[in-house]
Structure 1
């Protein structure tokens, strides 16, 4: 791959919805969808893909993944929860997401919990995660390039082999992270069940 990391530029590595970008006023569903579409457009794989749809939001509401809305409007806390759901949905099912967000939703409803601090902490960690991810991918590519170079010499398909192994390596890492997230989600649910 000759240290070619172009593909890393188009994955939305630093795309996030900051607290400052979330309006203080309540929004209707179409406004929420537009906010997410504008903010996370770089994370889409294809042009026609949607970041968030009415159906998705309605499914989250039916499954009680977030606390009920009032007057068809979504508060800042709803948008924070939707942003978290957006991050979680790639690895966890709606039921698993509901299980880990239930305690937070309960505290929001019963104690009027402000969650800006929690979300800000998450956003800071996503910046660190992006740095760790970039360094890890670059190290993997370098290692695989050296291994392929040593094994194959100057084969005309060397770049293809490198790219194939990088895809396989990234998919493997993705599965490891997904399994770890699933296990922790299970633990949260088990702890709540045992109370």
Structure 2
């Protein structure tokens, strides 16, 4: 099996929109798209993949995943929220993402939440996740290698076992996130 450190490096796990990447001026939609394309360039699966499109942003706006823009310009807060949406939408439904971000949007809109501070906390957690991911991937690859030892066509079967194991792990994390969203919905009904 290939070197897991090389695999991790090729994933672009350190890609993202950092606070220092976000201009202090409001941006038009094309500038937002360019910022995301540049920030996530290393994380793209292939050259044709689009990180963010006008249609996506307009759908997020119509779905009220972030609070309204003014004069067709996106603030730093909008960009941070769009970054959170980008990360969450690969594992959660758009309705779940909206549920998660509703309170955050409300607090940010009313200036009761310093979104930059919240986002900085998210980025710190994200970096910690990269380290945990690398360690977990290496551990998982080792267990898979032990299971595949002695099998005919061991290299191909080892790869299939690793893929199946990673998908299972991904599903466990997704299900845990969905359960937390469901708990948020339930608490919202109780209020």
Fold-level match, TM-score > 0.5? yes
Separation (CA, whole Å) in 1 of partners of 2:5 and 2:109: 45
How many residue pairs match? The answer is 191
Given candidates 177, 181, 187, the residue that maps to 1:185 is 181
Separation (CA, whole Å) in 2 of partners of 1:136 and 1:165: 15
Separation (CA, whole Å) in 1 of partners of 2:32 and 2:3: 39
Q: Normalization by structure 2: what TM-score? A: 0.95
Separation (CA, whole Å) in 1 of partners of 2:121 and 2:173: 20
Instruction: State the Cα distance separating 1:191 from its structure 2 match.
Output: 1.3
Instruction: State the Cα distance separating 1:3 from its structure 2 match.
Output: 4.5
Separation (CA, whole Å) in 1 of partners of 2:4 and 2:106: 47
**What do you get for the CA RMSD once the two structures are aligned?**
1.3
Separation (CA, whole Å) in 1 of partners of 2:124 and 2:34: 24
Higher relative contact order (CA 8 A, sep 6+): 1
Q: Which residue of 2 aligns with 1:122?
A: 122
| Secondary structure, counterpart of 2:24 in structure 1 | coil
Q: Structure 2 unaligned runs (5+)? A: none
| Secondary structure, counterpart of 2:110 in structure 1 | helix
Q: Deviations over 1:3-39 (max 9, x none)?
A: 4543222211111211111111000000000000011
Q: Deviations over 1:101-140 (max 9, x none)?
A: 1111111222353211111111111111111111011011
Structure 1 residue ranges, 4+ long, deviating more than 4 angstroms after superposition: 2-5
Separation (CA, whole Å) in 1 of partners of 2:4 and 2:104: 42
